[in-house]
Chain A
Amino acid sequence: MSPARRFDAIVIGAGIVGAACARALARDGCSVLVLEAGCAGGGTTAAGMGHLVVMDDSAEQLALTALSCKLWRELAPTLSSAVEFDACGTIWVAEDSAQMDAVAGKQRVYREHGIEADMLSAAQLAILEPNLRAGLAGGLRVPGDAVVYPPRAALSLLADAMAHGAVLREGCRVDEILDGAVRSGGELFESTAIVNAAGAEAARLTPELPIVPRKGHLAITDRYPGFCRHQLVELGYLTSAHVMTSESVAFNVQPRSTSQVLIGSSRELVGWDNTTNRRVLRQMLDRALHFMPALADVSIVRTWTGFRPATTDKLPLIGLWTSTAGLWIAAGHEGLGITSSLGTARLLADLIAGRTPPIDAAPYSPMRLTHHVRTTS
């Protein structure tokens, strides 16, 4: 074993969450080492849609996503065009009057939290998004939401971290997290602040973490300028995301800056099987066709799968892991890692520095789900 090298902070994982944490810590003046098993931004980050969206599945999720979207909007002017930040906003689509009632409730919640949200009538919806089917009830437009191209966003955050002195090691798989150190092959790196930001793989290093891979499919079309202008999500999306059923699909499309249309979404609990499930893919596309019949005439150029790091209570794990000295967790963001990366990094950097975070960090503590972890006396 070569002599250990010491850093103020070590971040494991250079997905978007690790990248954001590295940036926040480096900007705090810490010497930061980022260890990535593959290539930066190449895991779940590269497989995701890249929505920056306020979600209100719970008060805690709303607080973190709202903070994060605000941070993204502040960062946006500094991002290169390669990140493809597009302030397209989201429209939550309602199919019937019952869903319109839910939209009204959703608008109330958003406004209570200072988030702009406008009710759309059926006619307004049809004008904004003419490729949606006729007969929809209306929707809720959230203009502050946006999309990015996730792998480039992660690289951009990493570049900022490195400009502040961080060191990135790609192709460097961490084998073990020890008290105050990590081991990768024959190398040992020491730190008093080790951040497990390994996403869906975080539980490989910290087995007590309640994170499971939740598979998703995506499809992307050829270029069709103006096909849709907002990220479109069916109101039932939260149900699909929230209920931990073995399988579900929901309508979610977004315009890309290349004029391509990205089509989601599906959720499956099938371990690490990354093969295309043609039946689920078909259900997902049928759901999209149900809302946007014109998709029948476009050509899809590629489909792929990825793994969301899902937790049992649908909240990420952010904070100190008290079972290992110096270990912090920033993982388990399910389908909201791109959105929540900046808020997560803010919370984590504040906690590590002993500052008070802008929102209460207690609900995200990784220790909240560990009642069943055995303690040795």
Chain B
Amino acid sequence: MTTRAPDSEGDRRVTIVVDGRPVEVAAGISVAAALMENGVHAFRRSVTGAARGPLCGMGVCHECRVTIAGIAHRRACLITVSNGMEIVTAEGGAP
């Protein structure tokens, strides 16, 4: 018997583009999970240049903001990956 979360998309994979680099990740996961799974820790930089990444994981703290599809300051923990999604993190110069 297999147990699976109700919203799981099974073994389906999608390709996202992180700072110009194509990365294959599981479908249905959040952008935050996808980035962390791929070793991204500095999602963005604070005003003073400090590295920032996910803290609350539920959209409250705003620490995990990245640029998605050209729109700055999207909360990575609230957005689900989709095929071809372009993400820019601190490394890629996101504000």
Whether A224 contacts B95 in the complex (CB less than 8 A), given A258-B47, A299-B73, comes out as yes
Say yes or no: is B41 at the interface (Cβ < 8 Å to chain A).
no
Assembled-state Cα–Cα distance A299/B71 (Å): 10
Whether A223 touches B62, Cβ cut-off 8 Å, given contacts A258-B47, A299-B73, is no
Is B60 among interface residues, defined by CB-CB distance under 8 A? Answer: no
Smallest Cβ distance from A225 to chain B, in angstroms?
Answer: 5
CA distance A330 to B28 in the complex (A): 62
Interface size on B, residues (CB 8 A): 7
Given contact pairs A258-B47, A259-B95, A301-B62, A222 touches B73 in the complex (Cβ within 8 A): yes
- CB neighbours (8 Å) of B95 from chain A are 222-225, 259
Q: Mark B56-95, 1 if CB is under 8 A from A, else 0.
A: 0000001001000001110000000000000000000001
- Docked Cα-Cα span, A301 to B61, in Å, equals 11
Is the CB–CB distance between A223 and B47 below 8 Å?
Answer: yes
Question: Does any Cβ of B come within 8 Å of A112's Cβ?
Answer: no
Tell me the A43-69 residues at the B interface (CB within 8 Å): none
In the complex, A74 has a CB within 8 A of chain B: no
User: Do most interface residues of chain B lie in helix, strand or loop, or is the interface mixed?
Assistant: strand
Q: How far is the CB of B50 from chain A (nearest CB, A)?
A: 14
Q: Give the interface size class of chain A.
A: 10 to 19
> A259-B95, A301-B62 given as contacts; is B72 within 8 A of A222 (CB)?
yes
Would you give the shortest CB distance from B74 to chain A, in whole angstroms? 9
Residues of B within 8 A of A298 (CB): 72-73
Distance of B35 from chain A, by nearest CB (Å):
19
Minimal beta-carbon separation of B20 from chain A (angstroms): 19
Which residue of A is nearest B74, CB measured?
Answer: A299
Q: From residue A263, how far is it (CB to closest CB) to chain B in Å?
A: 16
Q: How distant is B70 from chain A, measured CB to nearest CB, in Å?
A: 10
- Return chain A residues, CB-CB under 8 Å to B71: 297
Residues of B within 8 A of A301 (CB): 62
Chain B residues with CB under 8 Å of A225's CB are: 95
Q: Mark A206-224, 1 if CB is under 8 A from B, else 0.
A: 0000000000000000111
A222 with B47: CB separation less than 8 A: no
**From residue A220, how far is it (CB to closest CB) to chain B in Å?**
12
Task: Give CA–CA (A258, B95) in the complex, Å.
Answer: 10
B40 to chain A minimum Cβ distance, whole angstroms, is 19
Nearest residue in A to B44 (C-beta to C-beta)?
A: A223
Closest to A256 in B: B47
| Neighbouring B residues of A223 by C-beta, 8 Å | 47, 72-73, 95
Whole-angstrom distance between the Cβ of A177 and the nearest chain B Cβ: 41
Docked complex: B37-55 residues within 8 A CB-CB of A: 47
Residue of A nearest to B71 (CB): A297
A225 CA / B71 CA spacing, docked (Å): 13
Q: Name A224's contact: one of B47, B62, B72 (CB within 8 Å).
A: B72
A residues apposed to B, CB below 8 Å: 222-225, 258-259, 297-299, 301
**A-B CB proximity, top 10 nearest:** A222-B73, A223-B95, A258-B47, A299-B73, A225-B95, A259-B95, A224-B72, A224-B95, A297-B71, A222-B72
Q: Can you sample 11 A-B contacts with CB below 8 Å?
A: A222-B72, A222-B73, A222-B95, A223-B72, A223-B73, A223-B95, A224-B72, A224-B95, A297-B71, A298-B73, A299-B73
Given A222-B65, A225-B95, A301-B62, 9 further pairs, Cβ under 8 A: A222-B73, A222-B95, A223-B47, A223-B73, A223-B95, A224-B72, A224-B95, A298-B72, A299-B73
